[in-house]
């Protein structure tokens, strides 16, 4: 991932995972706040978007799918 270093801020983003019991067993709720909005470029996909867009677009592929495989979830 490439970006303009002058646009990067020192503000850290925060990921909050909340685990809850439910009728099916359990669920995970996720909130990601303070994601910087500078533009990034992903050479593998050709995307050039604000980081917030990239994070929102690829959460499932980058995090949920690997977590499902790790925990053996088949749904």
Q: What is the pLDDT of residues 16-64, one digit of tens each?
A: 989 999 998 988 888 888 888 888 887 777 888 888 888 888 777 777 7
pLDDT of residue 22: 92
pLDDT of residue 18: 93
Single out the residue of 39, 16, 20 nearest to residue 28, CA to CA.
20
Distances (CA, A) of 68 to 10, 20, 48, 53, 72: 32, 16, 28, 23, 6
- In the DSSP assignment, the letter for residue 6 is G
Q: Where are the domains of the chain?
A: 2-71
Please report which confidence band the pLDDT of residue 67 belongs to, taking 50, 70 and 90 as the band edges.
confident
pLDDT: which is higher, 45 or 3: 45
Classify residue 54 as left (phi > 0), alpha (psi -120 to 50) or beta. Answer: alpha
pTM metric for this prediction: 0.55
């Amino acid at each position: 991932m490439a970006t303009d270093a002058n646009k990067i801020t020192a503000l850290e983003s925060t990921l909050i995972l909340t685990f809850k019991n439910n009728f099916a067993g359990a669920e995970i709720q996720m909130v990601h706040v303070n994601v910087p909005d500078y533009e990034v470029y992903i050479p593998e996909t050709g995307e050039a978007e604000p980081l917030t867009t990239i994070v929102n677009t690829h959460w499932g592929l980058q995090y949920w799918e690997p977590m499902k495989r790790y925990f053996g979830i088949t749904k």
